[in-house]
């Protein structure tokens, strides 16, 4: 029998269905392959890695440049794809300049979230040792690349808009530039730099410290002045409580402090340069604690935490309960010695024994 004209339609329709299914399967496999490829390209470069890589985004970097740099740093597999992802997520204009702590165990999605949160500013590490004078602080800050030495010095001597309430109007910032290690943002102004140091000093005025100051009948400036003398007198931290006790006992008795570092400060000399034969100790000035009783008018250095606390918790008595009034640093052969005493006779005895003439 001859097939009718319509007898071939079921076969053609069946072929069409098969072809369509094949096309859909091929398309599915193709898209699945793309999805798997994209998933791989957006996955961590090194899964389970926690090694921190510091990555910096500079001002003016767009999404494309940032993405290329991430790929170069080994933090993303494909910079172009990462850039596209940022645009899809509307993050391409939200990347902030700064330093980021990233690692190769982070996915592209996690890295993009980090970039959106913003980075830390690049900083300069500055170490301010205990006992620096104001000019030495200015020199240290300038040497670290934070500004001009003369500008720092003038701001320390004559602060304008960032004086703390506890610093008397006629004084500079010396004594309150707290010795510590600082991470200071690169583009900080001199005012901001000094503000970091002053704010760090604020942290020393805890509720316990405030209570002790009230109990000892000391103002903040008196506390800092005395601590600055203790700082420059002491050979090490262990001596500070006794030295503070000596000075507090002398103040209570109306005795002059007779502190060599105060004389050196007033003459703008370092301690070894003092010359008794030239009359340095007889030359009267507001820091000479041989010619004047009481505290000098300003701090003579920037004291650290140990010196500050020593003034509040001094060791004023010896093992027999007698108050200390004297101390000296000397040598017993090659060994350095620290000798506190309760009376002048014993002090003179130790002067003859331990001080090199």
More confidently predicted of 190 and 50: 190
Q: Which two tokens stand for residue 119?
A: 């980075």
Q: How far is CA 209 from the centre of its chain?
A: 22
Separation between Cα atoms, residue 153 and residue 51, nearest integer Å: 42
Q: Is 101 helix (H, G, I), strand (E, B) or coil?
A: strand
- pLDDT interval class at 36 (50, 70, 90): very low
Q: What is the pLDDT of residues 234-247, one digit of tens each?
A: 999 999 999 999 99
Nearest alpha-carbon partner for 198 in 231, 223, 161, 235: 161
Confidence of residue 119 (pLDDT cuts 50, 70, 90): confident
Residues in the chain: 357
Contact predicate 175/225, CB 8 Å: yes
Tell me: pLDDT of 10 over 60: no
Element (H, E) at 331: strand 326-332
Residue-range domains of the chain with CATH: 52-117 (3.30.1490.480), 123-202 (no CATH), 207-316 (no CATH)
The pLDDT value recorded for residue 9 is 53
Question: pLDDT exceeding 90 applies to what percent of the chain?
Answer: 60
Average pLDDT over residues 163-177: 93
Give the three-class secondary structure for 271: helix
How far is Cα 139 from Cα 133, in angstroms, rounded to an integer? 10
Residue 120, SS3?
strand
pLDDT at 5 over 50: no
Which stretches of the chain are DSSP H helices?
9-41, 63-72, 79-88, 108-117, 134-143, 149-157, 190-202, 207-216, 220-233, 240-252, 260-266, 305-312, 344-354
- Return the closest-CA partner of residue 182 out of 153, 141, 134, 227: 141
pLDDT at 3: 47
Residue labelled with tokens 């005493």? 341
- pLDDT (tens digit per residue) in 256-283: 999 999 999 999 999 999 899 999 999 9
Reported as a pLDDT band with limits 50, 70 and 90, residue 52 is: confident
More confident residue, 59 or 198: 198
Region 157-162: mean pLDDT is: 84
Reply yes or no on whether the pLDDT at 32 is more than 60.
no
């Amino acid at each position: 029998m001859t097939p009718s004209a319509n007898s071939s339609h079921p076969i053609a329709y069946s072929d069409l269905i098969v072809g369509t299914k094949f096309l859909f399967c091929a398309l599915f496999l193709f898209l699945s392959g793309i999805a798997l490829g994209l998933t791989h390209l957006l996955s961590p470069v090194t899964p389970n890695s926690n090694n921190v890589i510091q990555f910096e985004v500079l001002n003016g970097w767009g999404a494309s440049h940032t993405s290329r740099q991430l790929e170069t740093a080994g933090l993303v597999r494909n910079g172009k794809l990462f850039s596209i992802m940022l645009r899809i997520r509307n993050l391409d204009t939200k990347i902030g300049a700064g330093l980021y702590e990233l690692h190769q165990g982070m996915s592209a999605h996690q890295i993009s979230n980090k970039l959106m949160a913003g980075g830390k500013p690049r900083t300069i590490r500055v170490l301010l040792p205990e006992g620096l004078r104001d000019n030495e602080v200015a020199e240290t800050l300038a040497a670290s690349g934070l500004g001009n030495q003369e500008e720092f010095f003038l701001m320390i001597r004559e602060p304008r808009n960032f004086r703390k309430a506890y610093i008397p109007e006629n004084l500079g910032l010396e004594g309150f530039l707290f010795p510590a290690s600082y991470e200071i943002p690169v583009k900080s102004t001199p005012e901001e730099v000094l503000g970091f140091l002053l704010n760090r000093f604020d942290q020393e005025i805890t509720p316990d410290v405030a209570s002790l100051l009230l109990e000892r009948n000391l103002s903040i400036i008196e506390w800092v002045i005395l601590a600055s003398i203790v700082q420059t007198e002491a050979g090490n931290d262990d001596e500070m409580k006794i030295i503070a006790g000596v000075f507090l006992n002398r103040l209570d008795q109306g005795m002059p402090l007779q502190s060599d570092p105060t004389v050196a400060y007033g003459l703008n000399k370092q301690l070894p340069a003092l010359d008794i034969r030239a009359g340095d100790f007889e030359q009267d000035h507001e820091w000479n604690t041989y010619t004047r009783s009481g505290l000098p008018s300003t701090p003579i250095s920037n004291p650290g935490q140990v010196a500050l606390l020593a003034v509040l918790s001094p060791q004023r008595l010896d093992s027999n309960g007698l108050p200390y009034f004297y101390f000296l640093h000397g040598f017993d052969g090659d060994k350095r010695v620290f000798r506190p005493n309760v009376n002048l006779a014993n002090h003179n005895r130790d002067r003859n024994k331990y001080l090199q003439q």
